[in-house]
Chains A and B, each alone.
Chain A
């Protein structure tokens, strides 16, 4: 018979202990893999997105030639406006020619080719300056122009001399010019405010695209969600938690809410398209419609968290209120609701954060595929005029072919995540500060 000992482990115990260690290792591996994925994701976002916050600018003195811009010389705004952006192209070519001479740069490029390193936005920028400052015609004014996305990519390391072999938009000679302009100090990368505040731009001008206007669209949608989902959600929760009799109707409502919480978001988009746009004829792409759809989507989340915080208020509070003569309604609205408010607020913020990042339903109600160029001026315009939203704008950029837009998509994600982190941090702080244990 085999002796068993506590000091010497037999083969079976060893095997069992090894299995134990393996099992534990699997668990650790699972956690490590998940955290690794999180790290990779965050590193990718930050690594690829920070570029969008910097943009390459050229500082260039441009002589606003009178014989090009105002041939009659009478400073008549109507005549000056007749000069299209094409008419401004020679001015920039001349400016480059002068710059090259002044800085002693040697290049074989024609002035027109030199000016081609500028963004297509530059002529429009020049034109709107001239239209706004008619009296400056004839003077030399220093401008900061965006360069085109290839030059910008060159400074950010996305574009190299090897990678442009088949690129029609830029030549190695132009990159030589860029190098010389850098050493002259005229061309440099700078923080890109226009990305945070600006509007989307067309396919040919990735360097001019910004997320600001779609941020406003998101803001108006969140306004609608907050104004509708919070009161309706709280009212529904109060009824279900405090007043509803236990019967089959209440059961149906409860099952309904828990199922709605799990309905795919795109289905809410279909609902929005069919009901709000096709039936009610609300305008396509309007933040109001987006807000309504997101409200329906967020309601279950808010109801579930509100009910939890109402439930956590102890019955003694209600009994005390009823005991001093309050009606049931008064006990709920004067005592239970204020005590549950921090929890409700936390749940609402988390629901809003969810809604802010939601994309799929917005695609169906048309919040992609066009360029909202001007920020809205009034509340009604903000709600009704077509706009995009942050996640929809990111999707739009991800779909475009030019890699310069990908950088902006990642940059947009950084901004979106900053909003989400802030909202969640506020929710956590609220919970920490006001949470009461009874």
Chain B
């Protein structure tokens, strides 16, 4: 028996969800009434409030069934993949990397066929007809948004069809098991509904497990991030020399193959732009924080602080547009256009440049630096300032020689956090920094960053079998490690410092 992925136009999972919900609701009502009637209709004879008996039954019905469904849905693709592996001629599998690529092709073809069937572009007969020569399939599926780097091979189509059949059978068994589990659970819950049964304790334990599950989702997300990037990065390093990636000096992706994919020029661009941004943000942000916390009266503070926060709340796409359309042309007017420009020099030829992106990113980071530093400066005990004033120091001397040294670790932490922000920032550099990978010291030239290359390698028609696409995952992993390192160090510094005065 097979079941298609959609019934009556609704996804199967949704239908199951509704069915389990109905069973659980029925279980709730029946168990609640049964407990009440067994206590002679008087709730005082029960161990727990009547609704807890109902909730326990609903919980028994829903949790195991839905948990099983989620696990099934997550693991089914993997099981199906392993099952169709023997259908691929062993001659084609030269190494494990190639095998992964073929397997991902199979699942993409299968997914594409499902879409095509659902939209009525193809039917079973048409697919069988092209079994030996599936040349047209690439165009057919391409029209549906499933792009392939090469023509679909017959054995891939065969494996894809087999995996679709298996998936259909899998869905059938899932349907049976989930509904059985829900019914059994509801039955147990109803049977247990007895005045002596400690329903509240059971329900509360169940709720606690749910709470723990929600809290561990954060850990799960981190695992997901690391694993998803790690697997694809390993695929990438199977196809591309790791030495070239980390130590080479040219970035020249070429979709016909044989690309130079080295991270150094991108890392250079990232660092350079971040440096410019920090050169703008740190002095302005720090002085703003010092003025607001040390000099400004409550009125100025009440106005200036929220205004600065507005800068932090503006989405980065806005800054990106500002860089591309306002700051870039403005800088070209000053530093470029030869005689027609303000300075009469010809240093800058296009609006996208390190300086453009760096300046705008600096503006974005000002409130970030200033609000963090503000908190840290405020945490310096007043007694230190009073001591300094008592010795006859002026206010600025106190700030420079007492407050800032005391706050220094925290401020360093804030700057590191800002740096991590700058390195991971995407929209400003995508729009403002340009697309040319080079290692150069000229801030008027366009350069490119890790984040821009991730975007450009993963948008448009992507072929997850080519190193040119997979490199994005290696870049992402590097970016993740880089920012994570900065954050951990910064948080450590900030935390150690905070404990000092508490």
Contact = CB atoms under 8 A, between A and B. Distances in A.
Interface of A: 16-17, 19-20, 22-24, 26-31, 33-35, 37-38, 40-41, 44-45, 48, 231-233, 235-236, 238-240, 243-244, 252-253, 255-260, 262-271, 273-275, 278-281, 284, 296, 299-300, 303, 327-329, 353, 356-360, 363-364, 366, 368-369, 380, 386, 391, 394-395, 398, 406, 409-410, 413, 416-417, 420, 424
B254 to A, nearest CB: 22
Contacts of A252: 219
A83 B232 CA distance: 51
Contacts of A38: 307-308, 310-311
B342 interface: no
Q: Which of B14, B215, B294, B304 has the most CB of A within 10 A?
A: B215
B483 interface: yes
Contacts of B320: 359, 395, 398
Given A265-B426, A398-B324, A240 B215 contact: yes
Given A19-B394, A364-B459, 10 more contacts: A27-B288, A30-B287, A37-B311, A44-B322, A266-B454, A270-B476, A303-B218, A359-B315, A363-B426, A406-B325
A260 B307 CA distance: 27
B426 A23 contact: no
13 contacts: A20-B394, A23-B400, A38-B311, A40-B326, A252-B219, A257-B218, A259-B222, A264-B423, A267-B476, A366-B459, A395-B431, A398-B325, A413-B317
A298 to B, nearest CB: 11
Contacts of A231: 214
Contacts, number: 265
Contacts of B200: 327
B229 A263 contact: no
Nearest to A262: B487
Given A266-B454, A424-B313, A232 B399 contact: no
B431 A417 contact: no
Contact of B459 (A48, A274, A353, A363): A363
A279 B394 CA distance: 64
Contacts of B288: 27, 30-31, 34
A274 B226 CA distance: 11
A25 B217 CA distance: 49
Contacts of B287: 26-27, 29-30
Given A28-B291, A380-B10, A398-B325, A264 B451 contact: yes
B472 interface: yes
Nearest to B304: A31
Given A44-B322, A235-B215, A364-B455, A278 B366 contact: no
Contacts of A363: 426, 430, 455, 458-459
| Dominant secondary structure of chain A at its interface with chain B | helix
Interface stretch (B22-30, B61-69, B168-176, B205-213): B205-213
A357 B211 contact: no
Interface in B288-345: 288, 290-292, 294-295, 304, 307-308, 310-311, 313-318, 320-322, 324-326
Max chain A Cβ within 10 angstroms of own Cβ: one of B283, B292, B326, B421: B326
Instruction: Find the residue from B11, B324, B395, B396 having the highest chain A CB count within 10 A.
Output: B396
B319 to A, nearest CB: 8
Contacts of B14: 380
A17 B488 CA distance: 41
B397 interface: yes
A329 B207 contact: yes
B111 interface: yes
A413 B321 contact: yes
B493 interface: no
Contact of B311 (A34, A258, A359): A34
B120 interface: no
A260 B218 contact: yes
B131 interface: no
Given A33-B284, A235-B214, A236-B211, A263 B396 contact: no
Interface in B109-154: 111, 145
A263 B484 contact: yes
A404 to B, nearest CB: 13
Chain B interface mostly: helix
Of all A-B residue pairs in the complex, the 8 with the closest CB atoms, nearest first, are: A264-B424, A27-B291, A357-B315, A274-B228, A30-B287, A235-B214, A23-B396, A239-B211
B217 A236 contact: yes
A274 B491 CA distance: 29
Nearest to B213: A235
Contacts of A329: 204, 207-208
B500 interface: no
A271 B224 contact: yes
Contact of B107 (A281, A358, A360, A369): A281
B82 interface: no
Most buried by B among A284, A359, A424: A359
A70 to B, nearest CB: 32
Contacts of B11: 380
B427 interface: yes
B101 to A, nearest CB: 12
B479 interface: yes
A34 B215 contact: no
Contacts of B218: 236, 253, 256-257, 260, 299-300, 303
Contacts of B318: 41, 45, 357, 413, 416-417
B363 interface: yes
B216 interface: yes
B236 to A, nearest CB: 13
Given A299-B217, A363-B455, A281 B225 contact: no
Given A243-B211, A262-B420, A275 B224 contact: yes
A38 B363 CA distance: 9
Nearest to B288: A30
Interface in B394-427: 394-397, 399-400, 417, 420-421, 423-427
